[in-house]
Chains A and B, each alone.
Chain A
Amino acid sequence: MIYMDHSATSPVKKEVFEVMKPYLKESYGNASTFYSLGREAKVAMENARENVAKLIGANPEEIIFTSGGTESDNIAIQGIAYKLQSKGKHIITSSIEHPAVIETCKGLENKGFKVSYLPVYKNGIIKISDLKKAIADETILITIMHANNEIGTIQPIAEIGEVAKKHDIKFHCDGVQSVGKIPVDVNKLNVDLLSVSAHKLHGPKGVGALYIKKGTKLKPILFGGGQENDLSPGTENIPGIVGLAKACEIAKLELENNFTYLTNLQEKLIDGVLDNIEESYLNGDREKRLPGNVNFRFTGIEGESIVLMLDSKGIAGSTGSACSSKKLTPSHVLKAIGLEDLDSHGSLRLTIGMENNEEEVITVIEEIKSIVETLRSMSPLWKKK
């Protein structure tokens, strides 16, 4: 199988799995207990906190562990909103956020908050001038993702952070797709809160982290035994946390090398498809893009059928087509970059990872070419000139 869906999830690295194992078996203690088994877990967790912090240039005490990206986004956004609602009830976000952010914002709209969704234009990137215009006296929070999960576009986070700082507005960034793939330094990016997910960077599923800049106060949205500064209560997922930390440690060491490797394969895949298939297009900005992410569209054919056919050839990819979504609406991201409904149905996302190689990229290009031909020959919307 050729797996090219790393933005959906990535395989757990062998080294990561190895460090997790003892915490599932021998060292299974509850980190909140005081006997040696529990203390062992606690020590492992605090070491893990250091490794996660290092990857993003934070201090360990600024990191809390969560159950993943979605929980991190919820704790951050709702936490700020409810903490600061006496100051104002306005939030600014972008129109291409992950559902974990968009749906949280919509939930807050139902609670009387006002949310501005910044446009992203054809290249999939917001404009700082739009952000400045959207800021009002009541604005308490800006939440904008670092890299988009569908089209991989990278937002000008440092500049957004500067604007937020100047206006004394809290800034949360969903870093789920970017952390471990491109340099992320919370101080350089001027963020107050940053969400991290383990399984996107070769860690296990069900664990993530939230960076909370020192002095940033959040109102808890989950209630329980007080773990993680009262913000993410529940018995700590030590195997997951240890796995996340190992994944972060490896990502930090390999970041530069991986960036070059993935960018090279990405370029080959983009050129190979665009040069060999007529009326094929790349969605989103070509330069300001996550390494390894490609998102194509092909006139006259539909995305789910492309993905199904790729699967039958042993290639795993994904689509933003409505037909594959549970809601049957076209991807909000492709809509936001101005694609007509028909075009947004023809999208194919491939996200390359470190296990992929050039040979696989060549195979994928050939298979896509033949699949596109097959589907076009069946399509009433593709008229050969």
Chain B
Amino acid sequence: MQFTSMAFLGFVLLAALLAQPLRGAWRTGFLIALNIAFAASFIASPLAAVPLLAFVLAGYAALVLVERRKAGHAVALSVLVLVAVFIWLKRYPFVAAVPELPFPYALVGLSYILFRLLHLVLEVGDGALKRPSFPRYMAYLFFFPAFLSGPIHRYEPFDRDLDAPAGMDSNAAFATLLRFLVGFAKVAVVGECLLMVQELFAGRLQGALDGGASFPMLAGLYAFGAGLYLLFLYANFSGYTDMAIAVGRLFGVVLPENFNRPFMATNFQDFWSRWHITLSEWFKIYFFNPLLKLLMGRFDSAAAVPYLGVFALFITFVVLGFWHGSSWEYLLTGALLGVGISINKLYQVELTKRMGKKPYQALTKRPAYIWASRGLTLAWVSLALTPFWIPVPGIGALLAHAGVGGFVLALVLMSAAFAIPILIIVRSMRLAKLDQVSGGAIHGRGARIAILAGLIVLLAFAVPLLNSSSDFVYQAF
């Protein structure tokens, strides 16, 4: 049941209507039933669901264990076992020698379940959180709007919303419906159009590669293919998130934001505080911070701390990249993201050291610097995502043909192709004073209905026209 299907629309509207009067255990039970119905729509047979259910049950057993024995080793053991089982179920290449289950099984939602599960284990183990009851645990872990691709929500606010669902006044109701429709349009219209154009460039790139085209031609085609893929991924994923947040709101659950204008990021760290925010936060809290703490414990030198931060960032992003998929392609993505962010951090450390803090900060506020940095950041992220659309042998062939010159030219082209249009859009919006307008700023009833109806017509018109498959890219991770 894809979010963009008629079946999902019917499911959500009917379920929201039925859920309205329910409170307490009835509400929790109903949410669990909805979660099961939604998850089941992605699972071919009851047998295929067994490993997923066993994983979730093992997770609850781990919660009971860490609650009873608050010792660090119980928590560490639980985390290790859960991650190991996750790696085994996902068939990462380095466990290829370990026997696999003799039947096909479902992995849908497993990555996001792992994040929520580890959050619970670590927080309950730390004593910061009380172990939820099993029904609440199931309602949280499988919460259907966030089941496929997040946002990765924390348990405490969910627990609160379960008891006292967040209400909706007229403005919130309008904003919720608007957000759902905008998200739908981002996925099924904007994303699909971007993907079509991106596939054109990818096809031409392959043709140029086969035909032995010059390196500037290869660099140009690659630059646009890679840049468009980042735009497509944003439309696809942020659109899905908009829909997930809106659907969560219909059931009285406020899900966290996952995007904050990532194309306005001025450096890598800034980008990751704006893109897939809940994942970045999760990794920061549960991976980067403990890793840095561990490293600082080993290397007791104040001068080494910034460099340890650089190293911890690199490792974090390699792991983050590998989380995306159980193949070497994603390790390459992680390595490229890690290289980007660690070079960026190293550059900041070194320049601050050489120039001094104030002159460096003054430099980073110059418009030319901001826009060059913005362009380069987006270009490098696009480059790191290349394995998402070109398999590794293809990347090797591209590098062999285009060479270092082609690679540098592609980065420059991409940087300019991001920075210049964004600069023009931002300036134009500022001139037209559109940058201060948001959905909440539309007050007239007629204008609101016109906007909502316009979006519905757009979707009714464009979705069959584009024959959108509208799968969520992150659903596969």
| Pair from one complex | no
Which positions in A face B, CB cutoff 8 Å?
Answer: none
